[in-house]
Amino acid sequence: MGQTLLDQLRDMTTVVADTGDLQAIEQFTPQDATTNPSLITAAAQMPQYQEIVDATLLKARKDAGPAISDKDVATLAFNRLAVAFGLKILEIVPGRVSTEVDARLSYDTERTIATARDLIAQYEAAGVSRERVLIKIASTWEGIKAAEVLEKEGIHCNLTLLFGLHQAIACAEAGVTLISPFVGRILDWYKQETGKEYGPAEDPGVQSVTEIYNYYKKFSYATEVMGASFRNIGEIQELAGCDLLTISPKLLAQLDATEATLERKLAPEKAAAMDIEKISMDKATFDRMHQADPMASTKLDEGIKGFSKALESLEKILTERLCQRLEGELFVNHAAQDLFRAYDMDGDGFITREEWLGTDAVFDALDADHDGKVTPEEISAGLGGGFQLV
């Protein structure tokens, strides 16, 4: 019996689970794991995680005091819930967990720094070294500058929502530990703009990550590249050899079920032999390159809005749950309806991938019939439960 693609991939690339579902992490035994508000929203609604959610909410309510509104308590509870799931994940994975700073702070350097310090303080109070945590920050200029300060304090950062070489260069020069370029979202933009279909080797997202990887290795930057947001396993195969790849449970399962030879496509020695021009990066250059790249500027803006919307939905769910828990009532989960109304932007009765804007792994799990649209029925039937691999 031959090796699966997943087994071979692990020999050349660090595999990271893109999920908040602890059972999926246990199933695929990745080195690291990453979470964000939309993943936590899904996981928080699974029955097996209700105890974590309730304990975190009630503790936040107690610590905040009676003068604070339930909505503000829910906002406080988000960071604590992110750390609570992170601590559970670290009981399973041998490596690191990425924990995200509120996306609404993406253009606020000082508040991003303060939030990151608070997250690290929570992990350290729970006995977890900061070496096992990556603080996830959007790749705006302000976010990159925040990461530069944090890295000097020994707080390691994962810069996300990265779509362009200018963002990658700025991150490397800031001494960031890790970047997460979004392969699938780049592909989505080009397909929508051109109407073309792309094979894995011609995939614009694959080409973008390949360019960034080769640039980093050519100029010996220590920053690691973690490809993210995949649409199919062909993209993953084309990036075999990348430092890390963060993969949804659905695609991990496909890799684990496929036996074929996996060729290493990315390697430091290949990059070292390439003729690549070095670019000096400052804010003016960053802004100029960002404005000249409509894909990167559009997808960064969309991503921040999507993650912010997911966080607002999670806070609404937590507020409702807190109110009902404190009143001693049975918790009735209206989260599916709330999420549907939030994401069905044009009111046509279904959510497209473009409307969703949140994490691809959650959209894929909800889209039960894989038609690219999520209906109210799919939301009700699948949110949380559909995200769990059985």
Q: Is 283 a catalytic residue?
A: no
Q: What confidence category does residue 51 fall into, taking pLDDT thresholds of 50, 70 and 90?
A: confident
| Between residues 321 and 244, the one the model is more confident about | 244
The answer to whether residue 385 scores a pLDDT higher than 60 is no
Percent of the chain with pLDDT over 70: 88
Mean pLDDT of the chain, nearest integer: 87
Most confident of 32-41, 219-228, 354-363: 219-228
Residue 336 is predicted with a pLDDT of: 58
pLDDT at 333 exceeding the cut of 60: no
User: 332 pLDDT exceeds 70?
Assistant: no
> Catalytic one among 59, 136, 191, 299?
136
Q: How far is CA 285 from the centre of its chain?
A: 27
Percent of the chain with pLDDT over 90: 58
Domain range list for the chain: 5-328
pLDDT tens-digit series, residues 90-140: 998 899 999 999 999 999 999 999 999 999 999 999 999 999 999 999 999
pTM of the model: 0.81
| Predicted confidence (pLDDT) at residue 232 exceeds the cutoff of 50 | yes
5-328: in CATH 3.20.20.70: yes
- What is the number of other CB atoms lying within 10 angstroms of the CB of residue 380? 14
pLDDT score recorded for residue 386: 34
Query: Is residue 381's pLDDT more than 80?
Result: no
